[in-house]
Amino acid sequence: MAKPRIWSATAAVLVGTLIIASVAMFAFSDAAPARAEPTQMVSAEAPRNLRQRTGAVEQRMRVIDGDTLEDMTQDITYRLVNIDTPETGSRARCDAERTLGDRATEAARSLVAHAQRLELRPTGRLDRYGRTIAFVLIDGRDMGETLIAEGLARPWRGRREPWCDPNGNLIP
């Protein structure tokens, strides 16, 4: 008769541990929330006399890759909350991923270079690399959605998914 109670207690401990682990994983994951808090908006708006020229925002923000920006005045690195872009350089798993990743990076640089206004809306979370997770709006348009529409990114689903199939082709 003692054995069923031991199994019940063991099962309860196991279920409790799984629940705690699930909550912790969700709390520290890169999963996008429904929306950013509007009170956490940071603006990198160009001065009025520079709005017609390119580069005013670009002088403050550096594009690291298609989904990562650095605010050079505050030494903060931002990871776009809602997209995943292909890797570049040696982190790419195939030539097709590297090529698309380079195109995504160049598109992000162009968007930042031509921006009159760039808004960063941090979610209040950091990713595992210490980057601030944020929505990025360029001239009022979501940068992630723009890159997705151009075929240079895909929606972020909480974890990195492969871009290459076993033959070195892009996975749609």
Look at residue 137 and tell me whether its pLDDT is greater than 90.
yes
Look at residue 151 and tell me whether its pLDDT is greater than 90.
yes
Q: In this predicted structure, what is the pLDDT of residue 160?
A: 86
Examine the residue annotation and report whether 131 is marked as an active-site residue of this protein.
Answer: yes
Helices (H), 28-149: 95-113, 143-149
User: In angstroms, rounded to a whole number, what is the distance separating the alpha carbons of residues 53 and 49?
Assistant: 9
Examine the residue annotation and report whether 51 is marked as an active-site residue of this protein.
Answer: no
Q: Determine the number of helices (DSSP H) and then strands (DSSP E) in the chain.
A: 3, 9
pLDDT in tens, 1-39: 555 555 555 555 555 555 555 544 444 444 444 444 433
SS3 67: coil
* Nearest residue to 118 via CA among 64, 45, 54, 60: 45
Q: Please report, to the nearest 10 degrees, the dihedral formed by the alpha carbons of residues 73, 76, 81, 84 taken in order.
A: 90
pTM: 0.68
Q: In this predicted structure, what is the pLDDT of residue 23?
A: 44
Examine the residue annotation and report whether 79 is marked as an active-site residue of this protein.
Answer: yes
Tell me which CATH code domain 31-155 carries. 2.40.50.90
What distance lies between CA 134 and its chain's CA centroid?
A: 7
pLDDT in tens, 58-95: 688 999 999 999 999 999 999 999 999 999 999 999 99
| Catalytic residue (one of 79, 103, 121, 125) | 79
User: In angstroms, rounded to a whole number, what is the distance separating the alpha carbons of residues 35 and 33?
Assistant: 5
Q: Where are the domains of the chain?
A: 31-155
| Catalytic residue (one of 60, 103, 125, 131) | 131
Q: Which residue has the tokens 């994983």?
A: 25
User: In angstroms, rounded to a whole number, what is the distance separating the alpha carbons of residues 98 and 16?
Assistant: 43
Q: In this predicted structure, what is the pLDDT of residue 31?
A: 44
For the chain, give the percent of residues with pLDDT over 70. Answer: 67
| Catalytic residue (one of 58, 87, 97, 119) | 87
